[in-house]
Amino acid sequence: MVSDSTALSAGRLGGRASAAAGQRSGDVDLRRWFQLGLAAIWLLDAILQYQSFMFTRGFSQMLAGTAAGNPAFIAEPITWAARIIAQHPVPANVGFATIQLLIGFGIAWRPTLRAALAASVVWSVAVWWFGEGLGGVLTGGASPVSGAPGAVILYALLAVLLWPVSEPAKSPAPFVAARPSGRLTASLLWLVLWGSLAYLAVTAANRTAQGLHDMVAGMADGEPSWLAATDRGAAGLLAHQGLSASIVLAVVLALIAVGVFLPVPLHKAAIVLALVLSAAIWVVGQNLGGILAGGATDVNSGLLLALIALAYWPVAAVTRGTPDATEAPAS
């Protein structure tokens, strides 16, 4: 009797352990890795927020500068917030950095994942308005190459796409980003994101002959020699080619936007294209977020676009609503 019950108990434990191991090594891990990627970016943002420049009046002046060109109802709150930060730069910046640090830690710490993701959405929207002037999308000067529609709003989008779900469902999701809300909603979000980037690529400011050239060439100052040389080389290619370059960019972005509605091989091709374009934008157009030049407040949009694209990579048997490893019962 004793040996039987021991065997049963041990078998149950072993089985549970195996199941847990399987769950960890299966599809749920992929989403967790993306969540950890988001957490790492938040953590990096927090660390960047501790830079010396952020404790000076230059930071508040930078924020105030995002009001320019925006409608009054958007611009006035930005100016008001920048004035407050200018009056109390140290406590304000310590607060900002600490909030971002807590969000990063909270996403990485399994029990606080949901709360941290929810907080990240609220914080991202607030910063998008008060810190980035809605990414300049209403000013007419925003470009996907320089970071439109604003890196911070992409954090909010990622939080939604990577939201942990706990209710079981029958239909399998074709990619990780479809798990919380289903394929259609996730695909529409993708369409809106990349479609808006395609639109922004051909706005008047970006169609000028030297628009893209000036933007890329202007990034070289303060960067390491290899990155500055890359900027100068890319700027040379774009010289007087603003219109054609912006049209090509818009076409590529539009193809990416519709890619998730296509059959799997074309869907995969669109994701690869999105990854390559994101990397190119992050390196050439955004100089790795400008971190190496100092004064960067975040990693800019290229890295986040790449993370979003990875969340749309078609994977087999991602069961929508499968309990997340972060929510696995303790016993």
List the one residue from 2, 72, 204, 316 that touches other proteins (CB under 8 A). Answer: 2
Q: 135, 149 in Cβ contact below 8 A?
A: yes
Q: Give me 172's structure tokens.
A: 């399998």
List the one residue from 109, 199, 261, 313 that touches other proteins (CB under 8 A). Answer: 109
How many contiguous H segments (helices) and E segments (strands) does the chain have?
Answer: 14, 2
Q: Does 181 bind other proteins (CB under 8 A)?
A: no
List the one residue from 26, 56, 58, 182 that touches other proteins (CB under 8 A). Answer: 56
CB of 24 to other proteins, least distance (A): 8
Short-list 28, 6, 17, CA closest to 323: 28
β-strand partners of 172: 319
Q: 285, 37 in Cβ contact below 8 A?
A: no
List the one residue from 72, 204, 316, 330 that touches other proteins (CB under 8 A). Answer: 330
> Residue 66, SS3?
coil
Q: Return the DSSP state at 137.
A: T
Q: Give me 326's structure tokens.
A: 């972060």
Q: Does 168 bind other proteins (CB under 8 A)?
A: no
User: What secondary structure does DSSP assign to 202-255, as a single string?
Assistant: TSHHHHSTTHHHHHHHTT-TTS-HHHHHHHHHHHHHHTT-HHHHHHHHHHHHHH
Of residues 193 through 252, those in contact with other proteins by CB under 8 A are: 224, 226-227
CA angle 121, 127, 133 (to 5 degrees): 125
List the one residue from 30, 69, 110, 255 that touches other proteins (CB under 8 A). Answer: 110
Q: Does 270 bind other proteins (CB under 8 A)?
A: no
- What gap in Å lies between CA 152 and CA 36, rounded to an integer? 17
CB of 67 to other proteins, least distance (A): 26
- What gap in Å lies between CA 302 and CA 83, rounded to an integer? 30
Short-list 147, 113, 142, 135, CA closest to 38: 113
What string marks each residue from 298 to 327 as x (binds other proteins by CB under 8 A) or -? ---------------------------x--
List the one residue from 72, 167, 316, 331 that touches other proteins (CB under 8 A). Answer: 331
R_g over Cα of the chain: 22
CB of 33 to other proteins, least distance (A): 9
What string marks each residue from 60 to 99 as x (binds other proteins by CB under 8 A) or -? ------------------------------x---x-----
Q: Which stretch binds other proteins (CB under 8 A): 59-67, 77-85, 106-114, 155-163?
A: 106-114
CB of 15 to other proteins, least distance (A): 8
CB of 222 to other proteins, least distance (A): 10
- What gap in Å lies between CA 103 and CA 97, rounded to an integer? 10
Short-list 172, 171, 241, 237, CA closest to 206: 241
Q: Does 57 bind other proteins (CB under 8 A)?
A: no
Q: Does 162 bind other proteins (CB under 8 A)?
A: no
List the one residue from 48, 157, 198, 250 that touches other proteins (CB under 8 A). Answer: 48
Residues near other proteins (CB under 8 A): 2-3, 5-7, 9-11, 13-14, 16-18, 20-21, 24, 32, 36, 39-40, 43-44, 47-48, 50-52, 55-56, 90, 94, 101, 104-105, 107-111, 224, 226-227, 288, 291-292, 294, 325, 328-331
